[in-house]
Amino acid sequence: MEANAGTVTNGQLVLLCGRSFSGKSTVALQLSTALPADVVSLDMINEERGLFGGQGVPVEEWIRTHEIATAEVLELLSRARTVVVDDTSSPRFLRDKWRSAARSVGAAFALVFVDTTEEVLLQRHRVNRSALERHDVTDSVMMEHLEGFEAPEPDEAFVSFEPESESYSELITRTRSALNADP
């Protein structure tokens, strides 16, 4: 398959990164339609396994979820597909693993940081409590997540997206550029 820049590739991997309630799943949907791309959601994999991250998931179960997601993503990339991974992607070593996985199959890689303010995150968390549009995230899990979240560092060459002030069309353009620029 040929990428937009005319280089041969074995697929493209877009890794989302952001805190809970930042809007990553909405971003994944927008990107999957525009690129087009398959979405691999770690929350959905957990749910299929009877696990719910907002209630707390043991580390060994998260490891297994990442193994399942990695196998699915690598299979899609090997078929020259574009894939969006919907996950918090924190801490950094997880992002580094995805970057290495993309490189291992010659796929282009782009990291998209969904940078939503903590005020908006907490408001969405409260609204979800009453609306239950998604599974609840306990207060203790949410606070631990916010305190331990590792945002991308400047050396990670990421696309930053602030949903409150930027359009999805801008994000899509910048994501395509990042994929095309990836060596």
With cut-offs at 50, 70 and 90, classify the pLDDT of residue 4: very low
Distance of CA 143 to CAs 3, 7, 44, 149, Å? 41, 44, 22, 10
pTM comes to 0.90
Q: What is the pLDDT of residue 133?
A: 73
pLDDT over 90 (residue 54): no
Q: Where are the domains of the chain?
A: 12-181
Separation of alpha carbons 52 and 20, rounded Å: 13
φ, ψ at 160 (rounded to 5°) = -95, 135
Q: What is the pLDDT of residue 137?
A: 85
Q: What is the pLDDT of residue 9?
A: 56
Q: Which CATH number fits domain 12-181: 3.40.50.720, 3.40.50.1980, 3.40.50.300, 3.90.380.10?
A: 3.40.50.300
For 125-177, how does the pLDDT look when each residue is reduced to its tens digit (9 = 90+)? 899 888 777 778 888 888 998 999 999 999 999 999 999 999 999 999 999 99
